[in-house]
Amino acid sequence: MASSIRVRAILNGDTTDVQTLIQHPMDTGLVKDSKGELIPAHYIQQLSFEHNGKTVFQADWGTAVSKDPYVKFAFKGAAKGDEIKVSWLDNKGATDSLTAKIQ
Amino acid sequence: MTATFGPSVTRRLIIKGVGAVALVGLGHATLGPWPALAANDKYPDDAFKQKNAGEAIKALYGKDHEASDKIKLDAPEIAENGGVVPISVTTTLSDVTSISFIVSENPFALAASYRIPEGTVPAVANRLKMAKTSNVIALVQAGGKLYSATKEVKVTVGGCGG
């Protein structure tokens, strides 16, 4: 099954650039649908990246992060072929995770 | 916002549907990682509920911030679509532990907050929603102190419609 997460981690010198795109509605809870009813808030609250069991980056998100969120960061200390694990948790308790190899 | 339904909406719904099925399928298998988080990884619920920038910063960091020219905040002068505004920050400050983004005029000022462990480059790029023209404040916590950079972004179509 297709994952909600797409991640690209590329080693560039001694830093690894990590770009992530997640499929998620990121509903604010302030918008009405075509029938005039409020769409309940549904958004990712936490997103974390682990390398060798250590958290290398963690995001805390509110409703103002765009739909289908994108985030980019970079960290040091990884080698080509290492694995990076991405996980998210939303306000309804749903989660997803994905492990990708550093290229 | 409601009058422009086209083929792309159908496509979105299909993608959403596939996503939802994937989530249901994975829900049980992937509940693992979250309970393992340490106590200081807790989601700052209170800070995200604050309506104005000052209160949000107080709730998140509990201290005042000072402007710093060592922070480079990159955001468009004019955003045509407030739903997707690319904003990034880099800094030459050392010992950075946290980077956050505030959109002052949004219904809830705090948009996103990132924890930067040692070994991670103090730079983040993301995409935020902006309800209307507003100051965007990038906050950087470095060496226990809080620094900031501010830029106004003019929004021609608000981002509330998602």
Q: What is the ipTM of this complex?
A: 0.93
For residue A86, give the chain B residue with the closest CA: B33
Contacts of B117 in chain A (CB under 8 A): 54-57
The CA distance from B111 to the nearest CA of chain A, in Å, is 5
**What local confidence, expressed as pLDDT, does residue B39 receive?**
46
More confident call, B14 vs A47: A47
Q: What residues have CB less than 8 Å from A72, skipping those under 6 apart?
A: A17, A18, A19, A20, B88, B124, B125, B126
Work out how many domains chain A is built from and give that number.
1
The CA distance from A13 to the nearest CA of chain B, in Å, is 13
The CA distance from B54 to the nearest CA of chain A, in Å, is 16
Instruction: With a cut of 70, say whether residue B27 has pLDDT above it.
Output: no
Please write the tens of the pLDDT for every residue from A51-65: 999 999 999 999 999
For residue A70, give the chain B residue with the closest CA: B126
Q: CA-CA distance, B97 to B143, in Å (whole number)? A: 8
Inspect the interface and report whether the beta carbons of A73 and B34 lie closer than 8 Å.
Answer: no
Inspect the interface and report whether the beta carbons of A64 and B37 lie closer than 8 Å.
Answer: no
Residue-range definition of the domain harbouring residue B87: 43-155
The CA distance from B67 to the nearest CA of chain A, in Å, is 23
Residue B27 resides in a domain: no
Please write the tens of the pLDDT for every residue from A16-34: 999 999 999 999 999 888 8
Alpha helices in A1-103 (DSSP H): none
Give the domain CATH number at B134. Answer: 2.60.40.2470
Instruction: With a cut of 90, say whether residue A70 has pLDDT above it.
Output: yes
The reply to whether the predicted model has a pTM over 0.80 is yes
Question: Cα angle vertex B56, ends B53, B62, to 5°?
Answer: 120
Is residue B52 a contact partner of residue B128, using CB atoms and an 8 Å limit?
no
Residue-range definition of the domain harbouring residue A51: 5-101
Q: CA-CA distance, B137 to B153, in Å (whole number)? A: 10
Give the domain CATH number at A52. Answer: 2.60.40.10
Instruction: With a cut of 90, say whether residue A4 has pLDDT above it.
Output: yes
Please write the tens of the pLDDT for every residue from B85-128: 999 999 999 999 999 999 999 999 999 999 999 999 999 999 99
Q: CA-CA distance, B113 to B115, in Å (whole number)? A: 7
Residue B108 resides in a domain: yes
Contacts of B115 in chain A (CB under 8 A): 55, 57-60
Work out how many domains chain B is built from and give that number.
1
Of A60, A65, A97, the CB nearest to B43: A60
